[in-house]
Amino acid sequence: MFYFTSGKEVAAVENRIIFLIDMQSFYANLEKLAHPLLTDKPVVVAGDPSIRSGVILAACPTAKSYGIQTAEPIWQAQNKCPHVHILKPHMQFYVNVSVTISSFLEQYSAAVEPYSIDEVFLELPAMEQGKAEQLAQHIKQRLLREIGVQARIGIGTTKVYAKMACDHFAKESRTGTAVLNDANAAELLWPLPIGRLFSVGNRMETHLLNMGIRTIGQLARHPLYDLKKRWGINGELLWQTARGYDTSPVSPSTHQKRKSIGHHMTLPRDYYHWSEIKVVLRELSEEVSRRSRQHTSLGQVVSIGAVGQEYGFKRSFHRQQRLFEPTNSGRVIFETASALFKEYWDGTPIRSLGISLSSLQPAHYKQLSLFDTDEDLDSLYHTIDQLKDKYGMDAVLHASSLSPAGQAMIRAKKIGGHYK
């Protein structure tokens, strides 16, 4: 089969076999493994209800049978199921099991790519569809027997086919597996509403609906030049996704090639004053700085994002500034982010903040200045990194982090915003 893109004929790769293996209700099912007495009980994993993160992170199938959904507030879940068991997350435990699963899958192929903490791509040698489905069942059985996790598997000839097979069809399948490829996409995938196409969010769905494109099939049949005229390369990417065209490899190193390094924080309460906000900006800057050094990277673009709410209306802004020279200095990142924030902040109470560093390049070399040197500062950062590696992230802190506005000591006990 061939696709026409940018005026060229591009052959689709038909002999690839790619699995997207999704661990079902991952957090909740792992908690059930750790608490055998809750095996048959409705269980949810949720953040601390005393702060803003009191929402459902995961629900086991039993809890879902009561209508409980991920991301809804804890009080709504309790209204649906008063006897639901609410457990706090243990992120280090989940990360450890996720790494174990990836290592386990390397028994079948070296092409193993973690897509998220509970999803993994696996590329296999070409085989008949029937044999691929048999192998998927075999992997599911071994994961349940040897690790204790239940999985569903999408099978496709491309990564995007495998992902949509898992998301849209494996969940409803009696076997927990589903196949999606060029042979059945028009029958299975194309009739679905356009909002269910992978990578289509609410805003893009609205744009496509306004164009009269209501199904994935209508997008797949839509003239490519029209989509490219409206959205450029993104329009072409949407068109390719609808047709399942995706040449991206399954590679263990995919996520090592970072385009940016950033940190985002949802605050435990609204922050009204600059004296509080700058404490968090400094902490975020130091985290971005440290991670940049861990990845031996320098960045030349600093971005700041903030979300607030006033009188029930969401207020947010995102701004960036290009530096004269690349850096991984926490001081430089903080000073740049602070200046951007103060310039564009309208005084709205702030409930979340984020800082990122992009336009990355290797930190193995950099242009030296005749008038300024950061050698002493680089040495200081290196020493601080060593202390944190040995004694923990809260081993060295700015004094401002000890104030009521500081979050660094709390974040040191967390992974991904949740307690280890």
| Residues noted as catalytic | 119
The answer to whether the CB of 18 falls within 8 A of the CB of 250 is yes
- Listing DSSP states for 356-397 in one string gives EEEEEEETT-----SS---HHHHHHHHHHHHHHHHH-TTSS-
Quote the CA–CA distance of 173 and 153 in Å, as a whole number. Answer: 10
Rounded CA gap, 373 and 329, in Å? 12
Spell out the residues 6+ positions from residue 327 whose beta carbon is closer than 8 angstroms to its own: 298, 299, 300, 333
Q: Are strands 350-362 and 260-271 parallel, antiparallel or unpaired?
A: antiparallel
Question: What six digits make up the tokens of 125?
Answer: 């040698």
Comparing CA positions, the residue from 406, 276, 273, 265 lying closest to residue 348 is: 273
Chain center to CA of 188: 27
